[in-house]
Chains A and B, each alone.
Chain A
């Protein structure tokens, strides 16, 4: 059911763990499946210098978090924000349709980590410019990501 690439990332996920002194943290939960994902970033000169993730979810959720963090590492914040569920899924050689929402979790968690960083830095204008100001705390757990 999964591509070789997905299985490879599931077997050996990159960037698993926690960054204790992270500059930004993004968590998304999926109320339907009960899945959960957290991404931690360390930022230097607006570049993602280090990134780690934790995932409570299926093999696709683990593989997509791994791929998303790998894609984001070393990128500028603006570049990293261009990572979508499609980008992640494509980099993994595709995902079964019912697993696209897991990919979305990864892209969302990354976006939230960046938003969290900008917020902490007080860079509210940029937050607005990038459309990240609407990712409120409450919304976090209402993501509608489990449609089939």
Chain B
């Protein structure tokens, strides 16, 4: 039963659960000064160190949050609020995670100006246009490392060159554990990390904030996380995140190799189905991402049909979104509505095996065929009218 929807959610590794277990019952509050509090604090700081070394940062530069969404909010809103005296212009790419897009819209309603950096049809940020968008009063640029929906990886070093010394935030939710994420080499000022995407628990993430970069908290409380994130820390989850980071550091390279082989075979097989196209960049893409679109049919019916065969994947079709709008990522790479309709993302992960790829490639073609036989668009094309 191949689960190929790691982009939506990952299982928590058994090794991670084991590390967390003692801290579910542990009463210690890291802020307490007594020995029990200290135990919790030590566990938390050890985890911080592990997360930091995964991205080659210093542990003092890691702020734990409730997840990647909160980290993105802290980076965008927290940074803008703190630095508004320097300027009120920010730039985000058109294919950022919805939490970034919505933070940008929030700022727009609150006196900031926002520009959305366009991408080409492969989802690569157009660097020359990005460069032109940078103004005197631009205080922040946010560009994701890789896109979970189409798999495209951005050239962050080139982004850094294009925007000169403007503060750069990078959302590394999708790339962490899949490709190298090294804050020094990337030249970033802030970086968003998610725990669940590296098989850690949900409900925890982190924002890397380079030394010297100033941010306002968005959750006010008792001064936890150096005043950047109020609220008693979720120690068990943080410990799990730390363990997940440790495992990722040891295993990501060989795992990426393994996934890439499966992904290539999957993509090759998918593209053999007639009128099927790859979304995203053909080579600069996440090793676990196979994103395609099938003409003439709609994603929700594909996903539900796959589910009946025990295969889970996801889609950017308008029919499955709460707003009935197609995915903004698919629109930004220039797809038409009906093209976005038939898009399906297969995202692979640690528990997938080679035979899962065979299984999907066996079950999928008849599903596509069956749905196409019901589609008026397919008929039109067959008659040569479309």
Q: Please give the distance in Å from B296's CB to the nearest CB on chain A.
A: 7
Q: Looking at A18, A54, A56, which has the most chain B CB atoms within 10 Å of its CB?
A: A56
Looking at the complex, which one of A11, A27, A62, A148 makes contact with B374 (CB distance below 8 Å)?
Answer: A62
- Chain A positions 22-56 with a Cβ under 8 Å from a chain B Cβ: 27, 32-38, 54-56
> For the side of the interface on A, what is the size category?
20 to 34
Q: How far is the CB of B324 from chain A (nearest CB, A)?
A: 5
Chain A hits for B376, CB < 8 A: 27, 36-38, 54-56
Chain A residues with Cβ below 8 Å from B379 are 18, 54
Q: Could you say which of B5-13, B177-185, B300-308 contacts chain A?
A: B300-308
A36 contacts B377, C-beta separation under 8 Å: yes
Q: Which residue of B lies closest to A27 (CB)?
A: B376
Q: Please give, as numbers and ranges, the residues of chain B lying within 8 Å of A130 by CB-CB distance.
A: none
Contact stretch, chosen from B102-110, B195-203, B228-236, B313-321: B313-321
In the complex, what's the smallest C-beta–C-beta distance from B13 to chain A, in angstroms?
29
- Interface flags for B318-342 (1: CB within 8 Å of A; 0: not) read 1110111110000000001110110
**A98→B322 contact, CB < 8 A:** yes
Q: A35-B298, A148-B322 are in contact. Are A58 and B317 (CB under 8 A)?
A: yes
What's the interface size class on B, roughly? 20 to 34
| Measured CA separation A10–B367 after assembly (Å) | 12
B297: interface (CB < 8 Å): yes
**Cβ of A16 < 8 Å from any Cβ of B?**
yes
Write out, one digit per residue, whether chain B residues 289-302 have a CB within 8 A of any chain A CB (1) or not (0).
Answer: 00000001110110
A-B contact pairs, 12 of them (CB 8 A): A11-B308, A32-B325, A34-B326, A34-B337, A34-B340, A36-B377, A54-B376, A58-B301, A61-B298, A61-B319, A101-B324, A148-B322
Interface residues of A (CB under 8 A from B): 7, 10-11, 13, 16, 18, 27, 32-38, 54-59, 61-62, 98, 101-102, 146, 148
Which positions in B face A, CB cutoff 8 Å?
Answer: 296-298, 300-301, 304, 308, 317-320, 322-326, 336-338, 340-341, 373-377, 379
